[in-house]
Amino acid sequence: MSGFAAALFDMDGVVVDTEATVAAFWRSVARDEGFAISDEDMDRHVHGRSALHTLRHVFPDLPEHRHGEVYERMRVDNETLRYSGIPGASALLAALADGGVPLALVTGAQSWKADAVLGQLGLAGLFGVRVSAEDVAAGKPDPACYRLAAERLGVPIARCVVFEDAVSGVTSAVAAGATCVALAAPHRVDAVRAAGASAVVGDLSGVRFDAALGVLDLDGAVALPLSGARAARAVTP
């Protein structure tokens, strides 16, 4: 894990805290269709997945000609929300940008949601590259989105560190050839590690970028070298 040259970030659950609002939206749609979404389906087919995937796998009886009304309902819902950042996300992104580390946002959400989130959080100018649902034919766990982000940054995917939270996102990043740091609550740690996460943190509040050393410190446990800095080393808490 030496010589990382760029940092790629998922949006929902990594930059912005939307897990509860995403769950509430899809549960509301399901109620209107006469059923409830199980926790298992929420983890497998909602969080970290594109809306099209959710519609196909959770709402298979909903005809395709009605997908448009769900997308419009989602757009109105998302554009009227007030968003809260994941603890430490804004500070880490600002430090990386100030340190000259190329940044990409890679989300399964539509671009209009990314616009709303980044605008509210004051992060719109930090990402040199953005990849959203419209940019790829298949969403996560397919690796295309992360490969496209690396290509647009002009950085080999093997020299990219990815921050993800969902199993599908971790799978996507690892399959693309990147090193993945997962944000996960204790009950999800085993799942994201099984998907290939190299390190796990609770949120980004304890993640620091030392521009002088070119090292990304993950909660005082592991340090990843960015921009060709020294090889990864253990850090004493």
pLDDT tens-digit map of 149-203: 999 999 999 999 999 999 999 999 999 999 999 999 998 999 999 999 999 999 9
Active-site residue list: 10, 12
Q: What is the pLDDT of residue 222?
A: 85
Helix axes 51-58, 67-79, angle to 10 degrees: 130
Q: Rounded to an integer, what distance in angstroms lies between the CA atom of residue 146 and that of residue 173? A: 6
Q: Which residues of the chain have pLDDT under 50?
A: 1, 228-237
Q: What is the pLDDT of residue 227?
A: 67
- Measured in degrees and rounded to the nearest 5, phi and psi for residue 161 equal -105, 130
Strands 160-164 and 129-131, how do they pair? unpaired
